[in-house]
């Protein structure tokens, strides 16, 4: 990605992703491998958008591995107050929050998953109230940026520089940066997603039925469920939480998922790479896992009781630019936007029509899931069919052969 394209990318994220306003603080959470992108973002925030203070929180995943491997357990569970105070301060400033996502596949292989869970549980409990406040009151977005480690995983037959160049080229296509007017292209794309969202909400489906050669699943929806598309509102501002975004999503009824579900793409969870597997659900809960890596999956979903239930159901057609590239990117931000997906763990309160209360109260009233985790996994395939069942029993095709049916064209 040359300097001109990098600046274009930074402007796209700050304008369309965050809708950054003059005088508004910006918080950037990023791995140290993304320094070029962070510098471009900081330059454009100050120079073009006349932002307030730009706060950069650097992360080094190798340091995290060292802690998981060697630190004493009480150290793993120690969350210093300055971390909480820093988050509280920037939330109080009503900053916009940007997370730069870059994968390091396999980095956590060979580690004791229980130690990783302890550290994640401690951090999650301490920060979750403030993260939920961000979700309710602030603008936020997540954007991808390549690293050599990530590029080599996607393109193992290329040398380091060529693999990194190719992954940059892929990202340019995925983000529509190769189009004449990328921001206009994103506006048109978001309008298309909004049309699908409105149509889904008009039907008021009672349940969804998923069917393919390896999937046979029924998903009940809360009475007050809402389908949400890529763009969201915060006051008069419209922002995009995930860049890219190809999805329309809602929350399932926590106890209303039954049947067999095939995970169709490899899944990278905190540096642990899992090959496709099958989940069996009964009354919403994962009751059986078909996978040679069953023990690893069990440890990941042992974080809390809600980790065994679904929190999101998302629709993505096979025409997605990511799917068209026909690659597995080992990064959930990209891979989830290639195909239809679900998420184990926490449901988003915005997925039901119930405002003004805490996330816990909304979840309890509407029987949607609560958890410290939210792990997206891909289930789309070229033979996937999704049928919506209305309150009066009508069967409406939503997806046929992996894409939107004529009802949503």
Mark the ranges of the chain whose per-residue pLDDT is less than 50: none
In b/e form, how buried is each residue of 22-48, taking b as 16+ CB within 10 angstroms? eebbbbbbbbebbeebbebbbebbeee
Got the DSSP string for 308-324? GBEEEEEE--TT-HHHH
pLDDT in tens, 317-362: 999 999 999 888 888 889 889 999 999 999 988 899 987 678 888 8
Q: Which of 372, 381, 392 is nearest to 131 (CA)?
A: 372
Cis amide linkage into residue 244, ω under 30° from 0: yes
Task: Assign domain 3-145 to a CATH class.
Answer: alpha beta
What is the domain partition of the chain in residue ranges?
3-145, 196-233+243-408
Handedness of CA 148, 150, 155, 157 (dihedral sign): positive
The angle at the Cα of 56, spanning 54 to 58, to the nearest 5 degrees, equals: 170
Q: What residues form DSSP beta bridges with 97?
A: 27, 140
Residue matched to tokens 């950069």: 56
Q: Is 215 strand, coil or helix?
A: coil
pLDDT value of position 271 = 66
Q: Is 208 strand, coil or helix?
A: strand
The sheet that has 310-315: what strands, in order across it? 248-250, 310-315, 341-345, 374-378
Residues 6+ apart with CB under 8 A from 380: 264, 316, 318, 323, 338, 339, 340, 341, 402
């Amino acid at each position: 990605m040359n300097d001109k394209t990098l600046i274009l990318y930074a402007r796209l994220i700050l304008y369309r992703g965050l809708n950054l306003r003059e005088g508004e603080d910006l918080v950037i959470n990023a791995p140290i491998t993304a320094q070029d992108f962070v510098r471009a973002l900081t330059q454009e925030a100050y120079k073009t958008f006349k932002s307030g203070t730009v706060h950069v929180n650097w992360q080094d995943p190798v340091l995290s591995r060292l802690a998981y491997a060697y630190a004493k357990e009480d150290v793993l569970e120690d969350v210093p107050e300055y971390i909480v105070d820093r988050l509280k301060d920037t939330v109080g400033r009503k900053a916009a929050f940007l997370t730069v996502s870059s994968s390091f596949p396999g980095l956590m292989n060979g580690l004791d998953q229980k130690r990783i869970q302890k550290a994640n549980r401690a951090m999650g409990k301490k920060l979750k109230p403030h993260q939920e406040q961000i979700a309710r009151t602030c603008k936020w977005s997540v954007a991808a940026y390549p690293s050599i480690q990530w590029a080599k995983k996607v393109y193992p037959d290329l040398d380091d520089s060529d693999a990194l160049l190719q992954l940059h080229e892929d990202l340019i296509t995925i983000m529509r940066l190769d189009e004449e007017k990328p921001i206009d292209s994103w506006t048109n794309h978001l309008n298309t997603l909004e049309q699908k969202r409105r149509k889904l909400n008009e039907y008021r489906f009672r349940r969804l039925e998923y069917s393919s050669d390896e999937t046979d699943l029924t998903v009940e929806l809360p009475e007050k469920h809402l389908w949400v598309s890529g763009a969201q509102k915060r006051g008069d501002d419209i922002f995009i939480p995930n860049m890219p975004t190809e999805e329309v999503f809602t929350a399932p009824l926590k106890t209303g998922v039954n049947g067999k579900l095939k995970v169709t793409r490899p899944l990278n969870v905190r540096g642990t790479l899992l090959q496709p597997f099958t989940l069996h659900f009964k009354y919403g809960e994962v009751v059986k896992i078909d996978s040679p890596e069953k023990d690893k999956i069990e440890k990941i979903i042992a974080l809390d009781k809600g980790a065994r239930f679904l929190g999101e159901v998302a629709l993505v057609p096979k025409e997605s630019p990511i799917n068209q590239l026909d690659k597995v990117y080992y990064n959930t931000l990209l891979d989830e936007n290639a195909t239809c997906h679900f998420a184990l763990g926490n449901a988003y309160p915005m997925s039901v029509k119930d405002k003004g209360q805490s996330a816990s109260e909304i979840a309890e009233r509407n029987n949607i899931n609560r958890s410290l985790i939210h792990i997206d996994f891909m289930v789309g395939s070229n033979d996937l069919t999704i049928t919506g069942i209305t309150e009066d029993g009508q069967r409406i095709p939503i997806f046929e052969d992996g894409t939107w049916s004529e009802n949503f064209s």
